[in-house]
Protein backbone atom coordinates (compact mmCIF):
# COMPACT_ATOMS: atom_id res chain seq x y z
CA UNK A 1 0.00 0.00 0.00
CA UNK A 2 1.42 3.38 -1.04
CA UNK A 3 1.45 6.07 1.64
CA UNK A 4 2.13 9.82 1.61
CA UNK A 5 5.37 9.12 3.49
CA UNK A 6 6.56 6.89 0.63
CA UNK A 7 5.96 9.71 -1.87
CA UNK A 8 7.71 12.24 0.38
CA UNK A 9 10.72 9.94 0.83
CA UNK A 10 11.13 9.41 -2.91
CA UNK A 11 10.23 12.83 -4.31
CA UNK A 12 10.55 15.17 -1.31
CA UNK A 13 14.22 16.15 -1.64
CA UNK A 14 13.86 17.22 -5.29
CA UNK A 15 10.51 18.91 -4.66
CA UNK A 16 11.87 20.93 -1.72
CA UNK A 17 14.48 22.40 -4.07
CA UNK A 18 11.76 23.75 -6.38
CA UNK A 19 9.40 25.36 -3.84
CA UNK A 20 9.73 27.68 -0.87
CA UNK A 21 8.39 26.06 2.33
CA UNK A 22 8.07 27.54 5.80
CA UNK A 23 10.01 26.04 8.69
CA UNK A 24 6.76 24.56 10.01
CA UNK A 25 6.01 22.89 6.68
CA UNK A 26 9.53 21.46 6.51
CA UNK A 27 9.19 20.04 10.03
CA UNK A 28 5.88 18.37 9.19
CA UNK A 29 7.27 16.93 5.98
CA UNK A 30 10.32 15.59 7.84
CA UNK A 31 8.14 14.01 10.55
CA UNK A 32 6.03 12.27 7.90
CA UNK A 33 9.15 11.01 6.10
CA UNK A 34 10.52 9.54 9.35
CA UNK A 35 7.25 7.90 10.36
CA UNK A 36 7.54 4.11 10.75
CA UNK A 37 11.27 4.06 10.02
CA UNK A 38 14.31 3.13 12.08
CA UNK A 39 14.82 6.85 12.72
CA UNK A 40 12.03 6.74 15.32
CA UNK A 41 13.00 3.38 16.75
CA UNK A 42 10.98 0.22 16.86
CA UNK A 43 10.77 -3.26 18.26
CA UNK A 44 11.18 -6.83 17.11
CA UNK A 45 8.31 -9.30 17.30
CA UNK A 46 9.12 -13.01 17.37
CA UNK A 47 6.63 -15.79 16.71
CA UNK A 48 6.74 -18.33 19.52
CA UNK A 49 5.67 -21.07 17.11
CA UNK A 50 8.07 -20.67 14.19
CA UNK A 51 10.56 -18.10 15.58
CA UNK A 52 9.97 -15.78 12.59
CA UNK A 53 11.12 -12.22 13.33
CA UNK A 54 9.22 -9.13 12.28
CA UNK A 55 10.46 -5.59 12.78
CA UNK A 56 7.80 -3.06 13.69
CA UNK A 57 8.89 0.59 13.51
CA UNK A 58 7.30 3.28 15.67
CA UNK A 59 5.00 5.81 14.06
CA UNK A 60 5.20 9.55 14.35
**7-47 pLDDT, tens per residue?**
999 999 999 999 999 999 999 999 999 988 999 899 999 99
Which pLDDT score, from 0 to 100, does residue 58 have?
A: 87
Report the predicted TM-score, pTM, of the whole model to 2 decimal places.
0.74
Model confidence at 59, in pLDDT bands (50, 70, 90)?
Answer: confident
Residue range(s) defining the domain that contains residue 17: 4-57
Q: How many structural domains comprise the chain? A: 1
Examine the pLDDT at 60 and tell me if it is beyond 80.
no
Confirm if 27 and 43 have CB atoms less than 8 A apart. Answer: no
Examine the pLDDT at 50 and tell me if it is beyond 90.
yes
What backbone phi and psi angles, to 5 degrees, belong to 50? -115, -5
Cβ neighbours for 31, distance < 8 A, ≥ 6 positions apart = 60
Q: Is 36 exposed, middle or buried (0-12, 13-18, 19+ CB in 10 A)?
A: middle
Q: What angle do CA 11, 18, 38 make, to 5 degrees?
A: 35
Amino acid sequence: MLEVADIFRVHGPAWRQTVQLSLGQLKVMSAIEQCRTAALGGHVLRCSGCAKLEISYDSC
